[in-house]
Amino acid sequence: MSKLQKAIDRLRRPEGRPVGFVATPRERPKAMLLGTLVRDPSQLRPAIEAGADLVIAHAAEPDGFEAALAAYRDDKVPIGIWLPHVDEPLANALAAAGWDFVVSTLEGTRAGAIDPDKLGHVAAFLDTEQVPDAVLRALGPLEVDAVLVKRTAGDFTLRQEAELVRVTTLSGAPLLVVVGHEPSAAEIRALRDCGSAAVILPEGATAEQIASGQALLRAVGPRKRSRREGAEIALVPSLASLHLHEEEEEEEEF
């Protein structure tokens, strides 16, 4: 299991109250994790020291990041790389170098290239509205750790929120959403409620913006369980039932 997946699991299943009589101060739970994109190896250390929960290097090749990555090989912070193309030799090299996960499009990833026991995989969708429902449903067997999407600039509408709900509901995967440098509390609440596990600040995020983002995520907090949650049941007809229905209609015609 990748560090990214473990971090998401910890976020969604916070530790219970300690047993005993000594009160232990606990940090307020966060709405989501906070990550950031970096382009240059020199940006890796400042992002982690500023408090980022995860870092994604966005580069054409992994070359140049080896020294910066080696310093955090045993660290708990998940560090991944976003690449345009991934094949098996490259995936094996990434795992050996200490990368926790790789971000790539489905089209740019060779089938069977990524061993989920060695390297996490985040599927990137640059335009979710062009992704069919069948492809999203297929992500479960592909064992992706998360889905990365970019939020379009401008006001965040209910239509856009509904689209993200479609992605996470059909795929069953948590969302990593690339946002602006200074997201609002309303945007954080909306992204949290539609199944996002992390907001990702774009390249060039400063230490102040990372710290401010973390404070905002704690101020918003996790989603409260709705009284209606769990009451909805998705009724999806099976192929067998559809076939049986067709046979009944044919018998009625005779």
CA angle 188, 192, 193 (to 5 degrees): 120
pLDDT at position 247, please? 46
pLDDT in tens, 185-200: 999 999 999 989 999 9
Hey, where are the domains in the chain? 3-17+27-228
pLDDT in tens, 31-88: 999 999 999 999 999 999 999 999 999 999 998 898 889 888 778 999 999 999 999 9
Quote the CA–CA distance of 159 and 235 in Å, as a whole number. 23
Residue 244 has pLDDT above 50, yes or no: no
Terminal C-alpha separation, the chain: 57
Q: Architecture of domain 3-17+27-228 in CATH?
A: Alpha-Beta Barrel (3.20)
pLDDT in tens, 166-222: 999 999 999 999 999 999 999 999 999 998 999 999 999 999 999 999 999 999 999
